[in-house]
Amino acid sequence: MNTSGQAAVALAVALRDAHFRLKALARAWEENAPAGAVHGRRPLGPAWQYSDRPDEASYTDGLLIELADGLALLLHLSVDFGAAGTDLQATVAVEDGEGNVEELLCTGPEEYPVSAEDLAAAIGQCLARLERLDPSGVIGARRHPGAVRS
């Protein structure tokens, strides 16, 4: 296998692992939540979106954890591929029933990863940051709709 094939496999494995790490993180947060704080979980990916431009595509994955009082906790991973560079962002946010969003953590590399291996490593680093986040201040703590700022 040539190096470009190995890079493609490394990236595919990193995206697969990211999907399962997001699911495991959501499951752990649910299991550690106070009784009645979590009402359900919905997958938001994985999904690929292609542009009319041949040098652009996006990969997104995530989960929505439905909380008490109409709040939702969003775990999201986004990779925007482009000829100018690949942008990576991992986010945890809280949304209320009116669509107001408060970002708890948004992380990504400071520089565009220059290779598939660098991108795979950056995905792992971003997910590690999400895994260190303690959502206990959100899950089960907020009790007033609209408590989330936009």
Residue 3: pLDDT band (50, 70, 90) is: low
Q: How confident is the model at residue 143 (pLDDT cuts 50, 70, 90)?
A: very low
Q: Say which amino acid occupies 53.
A: R
In angstroms, the Cα distances linking 137 to 27, 35, 64, 92, 97 are: 17, 15, 17, 13, 18
pLDDT in tens, 5-14: 888 899 999 9
Neighbours of 148 (CB within 10 A): 21
Nearest-Å Rg of the Cα atoms of the chain is: 17
Per-residue pLDDT at 140 exceeds 80: no
**pLDDT tens per residue, range 26-48:** 999 999 888 889 999 999 999 99
pLDDT band at 130 (very low <50, low <70, confident <90, very high): very high
